[in-house]
Amino acid sequence: METHFFRYQILRYIADLRRMEPENIGIIVQGAESTSCLFNTHLGARPNFDFDNYRRWREFFMAEIYDPTVPLFQFDRASVEFLQHLQKSCYGNYSLTNPLELIMETGDVESAQKHLFKTLVLKPNDKNTQIKQPVQCFKNELEVREILGHSAFKKGKVFKAKGLKELVTYHYLREGDVPVLVQPVQVLPDRSRTVNEMERAEALVNSIRKSKVSADISVVVDEVPVPTDSDDETKKWAFDKIQQGKTELRRLDVNIIDSKPSAVRLAAGIETDLQNIERNPQAQMAFA
């Protein structure tokens, strides 16, 4: 039986430094030449919790782990030295454990991360336990990060550019006048409706690409279970149509967001864009 080696760290929050009673609130996993992180997004509902400080820490880790502009003297992100660097960066109410080791049959970092997050971070009453799909995860992140109330972020509004008028679920204007559009494709009990959502996303992207509008487009797609031999033909047909749709969208240069970690990263990027807009009032040119 083939096994795979991972390193991981637990991010801990200490509410009262006098009592020193840490709570596990996140996981960092390293393996297969990559590093990934996943954090509890529902701490802000607690009384007297400094969510702004927590958000800054989460943004720090996201930038260190995922930002493509690697600092000149940063350690290789696939090395134990990188994890030790993250650990030394923590202080105050936040700490990281020493790098720990895990051996699993799966070689997928995301699967290892989900296992560790469920085992070491989640509690039975955590809302995170009910969030199983990327679309729901993305919508939750928009709520937690208070993105939906931002004046520059449009939900369910018509996107207008170069004579084009299309109803888009989410959109805003990034600094540099770059339109950013996000369209969800959610798995519904009626699989034919799920296929309809995918076809609508394809039609929307085709219309925008044909108009020559230069836009950054992401489609958040729920995971569709691989059909078994016992499944009816509708489920098999829907699965094939969703996979074909994702292939076509990638051909049209669309970012496919089909996992919870990638949905979190998308929301974090939107949050950063909106913060940049706030710092530059001249960039606040929202769509109608």
Q: Cβ-count burial of 113 within 10 angstroms (0-12 exposed, 13-18 middle, 19+ buried)?
A: buried
Across the chain, what does the average pLDDT equal? 85
Cβ(39)–Cβ(26) below 8 Å:
yes
Please write the tens of the pLDDT for every residue from 206-256: 999 999 889 999 999 998 888 888 888 888 898 999 999 999 999 999 999
Domain boundaries, the chain: 4-125, 143-283
Longest dimension (CA), the chain: 62
pLDDT at 60: 86
- Under the banding of pLDDT at 50, 70 and 90, the label for residue 285 is very low
Q: Cβ-count burial of 4 within 10 angstroms (0-12 exposed, 13-18 middle, 19+ buried)?
A: middle
In this prediction, residues 65-75 reach a mean pLDDT of 74
> Which residue(s) pair with 35 in the sheet?
30
- Under the banding of pLDDT at 50, 70 and 90, the label for residue 287 is very low
In this prediction, residues 28-40 reach a mean pLDDT of 87
Please write the tens of the pLDDT for every residue from 85-136: 999 999 999 999 999 999 988 778 888 888 898 889 887 665 555 567 899 8
pLDDT at 85: 93
pLDDT at 84: 94
- Residue from 259, 239, 226 nearest 134 by CA: 259
Please write the tens of the pLDDT for every residue from 6-26: 999 999 999 888 888 899 999
Q: In the chain, pLDDT over 70 holds for what percent of residues?
A: 90
Alpha helix (H) residue ranges in the chain? 51-66, 80-89, 109-116, 134-144, 191-210, 233-251, 260-279
* pTM greater than 0.75: no
In angstroms, the CA 282 to CA 268 distance is: 22
- Kindly report the CATH class assigned to 143-283: alpha beta
- Under the banding of pLDDT at 50, 70 and 90, the label for residue 70 is low
- Residue from 30, 34, 32, 52 nearest 43 by CA: 52
Cβ(264)–Cβ(137) below 8 Å:
yes
pLDDT at 171: 94
Please write the tens of the pLDDT for every residue from 146-168: 898 888 999 888 888 878 888 89
Please write the tens of the pLDDT for every residue from 180-197: 999 999 887 777 888 999
- Under the banding of pLDDT at 50, 70 and 90, the label for residue 286 is very low
Contacts 24+ apart (CB under 8 A), 211-214: 211/161, 211/162, 211/163, 211/164, 212/162, 213/161, 213/162, 213/164, 213/179, 214/178, 214/179
